[in-house]
């Protein structure tokens, strides 16, 4: 019974003290309704005058001094190493994408890969370039007991590989000038015997050789196979370039929205910090007025330090996200823009329309570079199958040749008189024969053996078209008796042909492997698209729920502030409401930026990034 009476006494005293404190609270500002601190999110300044009107000029000066100190402290908290925060660079998302396309090093590497493959294709196409060759040669030949012969030869020709059918033709033009009667029908020669005093013979030869595969290597040979494969590889490199560019653009978009969130989070943290500073000023004013105990200052100071830490961490996150964006946009590590502060100008957008899964899947199947690359790999394997199948056939080649020959001899076209024997050896031989005949005549005088006489003979003029020089030999090329031609066939039958058959079987196995890889990649693409569509829908719903949470958090803070102003709440509960509102605001901007990042991921998953952002990509060269 005594214990119950004691509890009743304690309860009565508590109710009396509570009523007295309420009356004292209203007595501080009679006739004035409690007000909520108005926060300007853009400038993060708290209008404290609405709660505590200045009573004197000295109080107003102290308030201005306190605001100056707070601004200086905030500047210290917002300081970033190596960045001049006063040197801002406004940038929109389209400008960021444009700078990435111009300066990103990963895109440049992928672009150079395409250019390199273009040079490889040109190199292979060079085999069909016509080739002109000329080989002038001067030679001097001499032997013991005979005069020296100086010869000058010019071998020239024109050859070309034909892509259609795989044939090849070689043309040649040959002339020769020689003091000896020599003729070369396979090379185009021009020979000059300058030292000889005898007549000079001129030869000219003009012709063409053509070889045409009739069975193996007719539809496709190794050269055409390599060119076709290189064209496909060039398109594969272009697909890789597009994929790399889409990935970089997606990274730019995500980094841009991360920076937007980081800056907004920093603003919210600074606003929350200013609220704590205002609460501290109010508490100190109450302590001076005797309405609060000095211990209340420690609670507010602790919360103030915690929110300063939040601002420091938010500032660090701004630097991290900004550096990530600069890495994607800047070409050189020494660029002066590293010291500038990027300020995004675009705001997150929200669409209430749902994304069509069927349309997204269709876009992905039509546009994904990974599927395009596998399709090109399948085309390459089809080229290999066609080539190896062709190599299993026997080789039958048609060989044809056609040439024109011209001849000319130096000298005049007149009758020539000369002795029957003119050389020293012939004269000695005739003298010896006549000596023997004389001896026979002396032994048997009755036998009459006439001596051999070196009588004069007449050499009639030769056919007139033969005489002349180089000009005559070229004219004689087109005489009716000049043409020469040949036609032949070469047969080649490899026994067994295991190499071609094994290569063909291997190519068919690779075709099955590529089909399995394509099915696997299609499943990956479908899963990515489904996940991306789901992420867009989830983010959209998150934005709506986060907005409702932020609105309710504002209402809760307003109510808690009213209770605190009338002394029916504590600083601990007030701080909880303020932190809850800050978190709700951050959750809202996080949901908005996540929604925009999910749109970027959907563009990447469906490979519609170029179309959505109005980007045109030129296709590589394809010299036919």
Cα 163 from Cα 175, distance rounded (Å): 31
**pLDDT for res 16:** 35
The answer to whether 282 touches 571, Cβ cutoff 8 Å, is: no
Same domain, 598 and 508: yes
Same domain, 512 and 450: no
Same domain, 449 and 540: no
Identify the domain boundary among 457, 480, 511.
457
Same domain, 528 and 439: no
Identify the domain boundary among 401, 431, 457.
457
Same domain, 576 and 504: yes
Cα 533 from Cα 354, distance rounded (Å): 9
Same domain, 453 and 371: no
Token pair, residue 113, equals 């890969």
Same domain, 385 and 427: no
Q: Is residue 607 part of a domain?
A: yes
The answer to whether 451 touches 415, Cβ cutoff 8 Å, is: no
The answer to whether 408 touches 476, Cβ cutoff 8 Å, is: yes
CATH of the domain at 245: 1.20.1600.10
Bridge partners (DSSP) listed for residue 492: 395
C-alpha count within 13 angstroms, C-beta hemisphere, residue 572:
4
Where residue 290 falls (left for φ over 0; alpha for ψ -120 to 50; beta otherwise) is: left
Same domain, 299 and 438: no
Q: Is residue 365 part of a domain?
A: yes
> What is the SS3 assignment for 491?
strand
* Contacts of residue 410, Cβ cutoff 8 Å, sequence gap at least 6: 199, 200, 201, 202, 467, 468, 469
Q: Is residue 481 part of a domain?
A: no
* Contacts of residue 535, Cβ cutoff 8 Å, sequence gap at least 6: 598, 601, 602
Cα 259 from Cα 401, distance rounded (Å): 76
> The pTM is what?
0.73
Cα 234 from Cα 376, distance rounded (Å): 10
Cα 609 from Cα 104, distance rounded (Å): 17
Angstrom CA distances, 309 to 70, 78, 269, 302, 303, stand at: 15, 11, 9, 11, 10
Q: What are phi and psi of 447, to 5 degrees?
A: -90, 125
The answer to whether 212 touches 169, Cβ cutoff 8 Å, is: no
**Structural domain of 227:** 85-121+222-393+498-612
Q: Is residue 199 part of a domain?
A: no
Same domain, 445 and 348: no
Q: Is residue 152 part of a domain?
A: no
Angstrom CA distances, 434 to 112, 392, 447, 449, 454, stand at: 94, 78, 14, 9, 11
Identify the domain boundary among 437, 457, 477.
457
Instruction: State how many domains the chain has.
Output: 2
**pLDDT for res 445:** 72
Cα 57 from Cα 382, distance rounded (Å): 91
Same domain, 430 and 566: no
**pLDDT for res 624:** 52
DSSP category for residue 257 = H
Angstrom CA distances, 233 to 118, 126, 198, 281, stand at: 10, 18, 65, 71
Q: At what angle do helices 571-606 and 222-289 cross, to 10 degrees?
A: 170
Bridge partners (DSSP) listed for residue 205: 174, 405
Same domain, 238 and 340: yes
Helix intervals (H) in 172-219: none
Q: Is residue 593 part of a domain?
A: yes
Token pair, residue 258, equals 């991360």
Same domain, 115 and 233: yes
Q: Is residue 544 part of a domain?
A: yes
Task: Choose among 15, 156, 123, 95: nearest CA to 343.
Answer: 95
The DSSP code sequence of 378-447 is: HHHHHHHHHHHHHHTSPEEEEEEEEEEEEEEE-S-SS-EEEES--SHHHHHHHHHHHHHHHHHHHH-TTS
The answer to whether 397 touches 214, Cβ cutoff 8 Å, is: yes
Measured over all CA atoms, what is the biggest interatomic distance in the chain, rounded to whole angstroms? 200
- Per-position b or e across 420-439, b if 16+ CB within 10 A of its CB: ebeeeeeeeebeeeeeeeee
pLDDT mean for each 10 residues of the chain (624 residues)? 44 39 34 32 36 38 50 74 85 94 92 92 91 83 68 82 90 74 38 44 84 91 93 94 95 95 93 90 87 84 92 93 94 90 92 91 94 95 94 91 81 69 76 77 72 74 67 75 86 85 93 95 96 95 94 93 86 89 92 94 94 88 58
DSSP category for residue 461 = -
Q: Is residue 431 part of a domain?
A: yes
């Amino acid at each position: 019974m005594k214990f119950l009476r004691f509890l009743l006494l304690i309860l009565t005293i508590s109710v009396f003290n509570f009523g007295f404190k309420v009356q004292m609270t209203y007595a501080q500002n009679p006739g004035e309704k409690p007000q909520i601190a108005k926060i300007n999110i853009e400038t993060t300044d708290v209008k404290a005058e609405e709660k505590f009107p200045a009573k004197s000029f000295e109080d107003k000066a102290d308030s201005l001094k306190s605001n100056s100190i707070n601004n200086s402290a905030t500047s210290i908290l917002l300081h970033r190493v190596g960045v001049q925060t006063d040197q801002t660079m406004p940038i929109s998302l389209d400008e960021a994408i444009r700078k990435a396309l111009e300066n990103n090093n990963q895109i440049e590497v992928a672009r150079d890969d395409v250019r390199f493959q273009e040079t490889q294709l040109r190199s292979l196409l060079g085999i069909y370039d016509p080739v002109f060759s000329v080989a002038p040669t001067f030679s001097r030949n001499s032997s013991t007991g005979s005069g020296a012969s100086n010869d000058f030869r010019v071998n020239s020709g024109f050859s070309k590989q034909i892509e259609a059918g795989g044939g090849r033709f070689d043309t040649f033009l040959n002339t020769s000038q020689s003091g000896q009667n020599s003729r070369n029908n396979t090379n185009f020669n021009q020979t000059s015997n300058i030292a000889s005093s005898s007549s000079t013979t001129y030869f000219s030869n003009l012709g063409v050789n053509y070889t045409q595969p009739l069975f193996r290597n007719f539809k496709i040979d190794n050269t055409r196979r390599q060119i076709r494969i290189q064209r496909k590889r060039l398109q594969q490199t272009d697909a890789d370039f597009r994929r790399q560019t889409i990935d970089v653009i997606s990274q730019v978009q995500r980094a841009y929205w991360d920076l937007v969130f980081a800056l907004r989070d920093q603003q919210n943290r600074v606003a929350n910090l200013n609220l704590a500073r205002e609460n501290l000023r109010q508490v100190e004013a109450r302590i001076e007025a005797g309405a609060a105990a000095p211990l209340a200052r420690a609670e507010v100071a602790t919360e103030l330090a915690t929110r300063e830490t939040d601002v420091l961490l938010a500032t660090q996150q701004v630097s991290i996200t900004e550096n990530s964006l600069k890495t994607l946009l800047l070409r050189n590590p020494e660029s002066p823009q590293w010291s500038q502060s990027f300020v995004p100008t675009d705001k997150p957008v929200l669409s209430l329309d749902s994304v069509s899964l069927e349309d997204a899947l269709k876009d992905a199947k039509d546009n994904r570079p990974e599927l395009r690359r596998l399709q090109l790999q399948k085309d390459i394997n089809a080229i290999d199958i066609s080539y190896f199948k062709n190599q299993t056939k026997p080789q039958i080649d048609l060989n044809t040749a056609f040439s024109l020959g011209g001849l000319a001899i130096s000298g005049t076209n007149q009758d020539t008189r000369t002795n029957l024997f003119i050389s020293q050896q012939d004269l000695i031989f005739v003298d010896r024969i006549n000596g023997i005949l004389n001896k026979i005549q002396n032994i048997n005088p009755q036998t009459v053996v006439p001596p051999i006489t070196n009588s004069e003979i007449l050499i009639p003029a030769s056919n007139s078209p033969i005489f002349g020089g180089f000009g005559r030999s070229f004219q004689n090329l087109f005489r009716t008796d000049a043409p020469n031609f040949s036609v032949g066939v070469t047969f080649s039958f490899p026994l067994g042909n295991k190499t071609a058959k094994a290569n063909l079987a291997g190519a068919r196995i690779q075709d099955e492997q590529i089909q399995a890889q394509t099915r696997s990649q299609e499943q990956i693409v479908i899963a990515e698209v489904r996940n991306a569509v789901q992420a867009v829908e989830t983010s959209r719903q998150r934005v709506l729920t986060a907005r409702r949470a932020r609105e309710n958090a504002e209402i809760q803070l307003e109510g808690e502030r009213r209770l605190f102003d009338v002394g029916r709440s504590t600083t601990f509960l007030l701080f909880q409401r303020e932190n809850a509102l800050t978190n709700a605001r951050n959750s809202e901007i996080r949901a908005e930026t996540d929604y925009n990042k999910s749109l970027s991921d959907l563009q990447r998953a469906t490979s519609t990034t170029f179309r959505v952002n109005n980007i045109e990509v030129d296709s590589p060269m394809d010299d036919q």
